[in-house]
Chains A and B, each alone.
Chain A
Amino acid sequence: MSTSTPTAAQVPVGTAPAVPASTAAKKGLTNRWASAVALIVAVVWTIPTFGLLISSFRPEADVKSNGWWNFFTDPSLTLQNYRDVLSGGSTGESLTTNLINTIVITVPAVLIPISLATLAAYAFAWIDFKGRDTLFVAVFALQIVPIQVTLVPLLQLYVDPPFNLMPLAGRDAPAGGLYELWLSHTIFALPLAIFLLHNFMREIPGELIESARVDGAGHVAIFTRIMLPLMMPAIAAFGIFQFLWVWNDLLVALVFSSPQVSPMTVKLVSLVGQRGEDWQLLASGAFVSLAIPLIVFLALQRYFVRGLLAGSVKG
């Protein structure tokens, strides 16, 4: 995954005045040198991706024989690489199936953990019960169990579940093994999701809840009528987070997905391994996998930043 998951506790940052105020520090630094440095960083950060984009549109022979910068002296563009990679083309390596798999894996793997976590976060935030704080700290702590630690035992549970439950892996598994992917992503997302959403919930003024209770509303009513609407931005924020996580995941997919439901990341890795020199396919394939998260990310960046901040910097 490429998104960092903020794990830290809330950290106060002054009292967030309306006027941003690093002006002074900045003014001193804002000279020609400072701009130059910023520009260089920005260019260095952008060029690799830009090179990939150009490469993905160059004809096979060009991509293989010289670097993408030659495009500027000898411009020729083609959509053939995208056609090949999406339809399989001469190589029989169609990414379309994997693209669909990624979508099918991602949607439930985002919806389910968010919903579960919202419920749990509500309980942690607003229902009083014994041992609440201890339990919450325990859940928080569990988010650092590396996924690696859980993979193999989990795999064995899926293949050979106790109590004669239905195996989630194997040929007879429902939906070709999609359930184990959904379930795994849900499990791995829960601790962080509960933690982040709990932070949001605590920000909602207690008086709101209290007055609703006085009016005779139960927890379920409060949850559905007051909390959910107020929480929508936070839920959206975490949704983007989880979306990027699942979409970009390789490890969980490698371990749990069968060939027929394997997502794009798995396919790309095997493209790197097997067709290491088919640069044009790698470039276009990689760009197909980047496009959707990039669009989602840019469109919803505002929410995403909010999500990050809620997890780490509570104002």
Chain B
Amino acid sequence: MTTSDKFVHMAIAVLLFYGVMAGILLLTQRLRSRRGERVQAAAFLGPSLLLIGVGLLYPAGVTIYQSLFGAATFDPPFVGLDNYADLFTNSQQLTVLRNTLLWVLLTPTISTVIGLVYAVLVDRAAFEKFAKALLFLPMAISMVGASIIWKFVYDYKSGDSTQIGLLNQILTWLGIDTYNFLLEPPWNTLFLIVILIWVQAGFAMTILSASIKGIPEEMTEAARLDGVGAWQMFRHITVPSIRPSLIVVLTTITIATLKVFDIVQTATGGNFDTSVLAYEFYRQNFVAGNQGLSATIAVVIFILVIPIVVYNIRQMRKLEAR
């Protein structure tokens, strides 16, 4: 396909889509009755619900079903819950679970702490906007891009060779032995987590900064008159006031972390005990050819996210009720 072909197809797709949309709107605009309103609702919602049903609900069902089958490519045998048992007993898979746990525990908390501290520190400073943009930039970078960026930080050349990686160069300057950051488990997982923290801290900072600016002036003023110190202020006024936002940030980053696979793929290819569930899903399905196990992993990711979502729905319900 030539370049112009691609653009033509793109134009066709967009025009086609807007044509259909316009059609729906034109056809339903005359309807005014109670029944008509229902038709309108259906017309407005229909396309979205259809896509969600076909593209999310149905595949999710199929995947749960597939997780009960074995590894053969054609006509896999029914194995019941064996895949699940395997996932929680096999030493390789246990490492994957351990790593995932590390990611999920460390990434949200550290990103949030850094984001929060930074937000407080630069709040209302002269260079606030610029300072924020610096922390914020990694958010626009793809995980693949981020991994390449960090490749230049972690790279290792053994012994006395000239270092290309920044960290090992610093170690050399300090007269410390160089270190292969991505090789030694479990520390290599921590170094990969740093990449995601680097990406996510800006998100935490943005939300929390806005939230901090929302704390009523009277509150802080009163506290200060009472002679509350800086740390006390942070601890007893700032943090409690932005608690809802903190929870939002934590849960959002947690979900994002559970889904991350690009970093592991680009940085280590899942080797040296760095694999996580999201990556193992991909590997089992498309490299090792074990669809059953891969479906099982997907279901487990799903199950891990459910509590977070239930919690969020509760929050939403509470607010709607007010």
The reply, when asked whether chain A contacts chain B directly with Cβ atoms under 8 A, is yes
Interface residues of A (CB under 8 A from B): 1-17, 19-30, 34-35, 37-38, 41-42, 45-49, 51-52, 55, 63-69, 97, 100-101, 104, 107-108, 111-112, 115-117, 119-120, 122-124, 127-129, 132-133, 135, 137, 139-142, 144-154, 157, 174-176, 178-179, 182-184, 186-188, 190-191, 194, 218-221, 223-224, 244, 247-251, 254-255, 260-261, 265, 268-269, 272-273, 279, 282-283, 285-286, 289-290, 293-294, 296-298, 301, 305, 308-309, 312-313, 315
Q: Given A10-B316, A19-B217, A119-B47, A152–B291 Cβ distance below 8 Å?
A: yes
Q: When the two chains form their complex, are residues B229 and A108 in contact, meaning their CB atoms are under 8 A apart?
A: no
Q: Given A149-B59, A175-B13, A312–B249 Cβ distance below 8 Å?
A: yes
| Apart from the given pairs A2-B142, A116-B48, A145-B56, 7 other A-B contacts in the complex at a CB distance below 8 Å | A6-B248, A157-B54, A175-B6, A187-B52, A268-B144, A286-B145, A301-B136
| Chain B interface size, under 10 / 10 to 19 / 20 to 34 / 35 or more | 35 or more
Q: Give every chain A residue within 8 A of B207 (Cβ-Cβ).
A: 6, 308-309, 312-313
Question: B74-82, B83-91, B121-129, B181-189: which one contacts chain A?
Answer: B121-129
Kindly state the separation between the CA atoms of A68 and B149 in the bound complex, as whole angstroms: 12
Selected from A35, A220, A294, the residue in CB contact (under 8 A) with B141 is A294
Q: When the two chains form their complex, are residues B52 and A152 in contact, meaning their CB atoms are under 8 A apart?
A: no
- A251 to chain B: closest residue by CB: B261
- A8 to chain B: closest residue by CB: B248
Q: Given A2-B143, A248-B141, A20–B213 Cβ distance below 8 Å?
A: yes
Q: Give every chain A residue within 8 A of B25 (Cβ-Cβ).
A: 220, 223-224
Kindly state the separation between the CA atoms of A282 and B47 in the bound complex, as whole angstroms: 41
Q: When the two chains form their complex, are residues A51 and B142 in contact, meaning their CB atoms are under 8 A apart?
A: no
Kindly state the separation between the CA atoms of A148 and B215 in the bound complex, as whole angstroms: 39
Kindly state the separation between the CA atoms of A150 and B269 in the bound complex, as whole angstroms: 22
- B164 to chain A: closest residue by CB: A67
Q: When the two chains form their complex, are residues B139 and A297 in contact, meaning their CB atoms are under 8 A apart?
A: yes
Q: When the two chains form their complex, are residues A251 and B262 in contact, meaning their CB atoms are under 8 A apart?
A: yes
Q: When the two chains form their complex, are residues B302 and A146 in contact, meaning their CB atoms are under 8 A apart?
A: yes
Name 8 A/B residue pairs within 8 A (Cβ), A-sorted.
A3-B140, A14-B216, A21-B215, A45-B198, A137-B317, A157-B54, A186-B51, A265-B262
Max count, chain A CB within 10 A of own CB: residue among B10, B147, B302: B10
Kindly state the separation between the CA atoms of A269 and B145 in the bound complex, as whole angstroms: 9
Q: When the two chains form their complex, are residues A289 and B142 in contact, meaning their CB atoms are under 8 A apart?
A: yes
Q: When the two chains form their complex, are residues B57 and A69 in contact, meaning their CB atoms are under 8 A apart?
A: no
Min C-beta distance of A166 to chain B, whole Å: 14
Q: When the two chains form their complex, are residues B251 and A148 in contact, meaning their CB atoms are under 8 A apart?
A: no
Query: Which B110-164 residues sit within 8 Å CB-CB of chain A?
Result: 114, 117-118, 120-125, 131, 133-153, 162-164
Q: When the two chains form their complex, are residues B48 and A49 in contact, meaning their CB atoms are under 8 A apart?
A: no
Q: When the two chains form their complex, are residues B44 and A194 in contact, meaning their CB atoms are under 8 A apart?
A: no
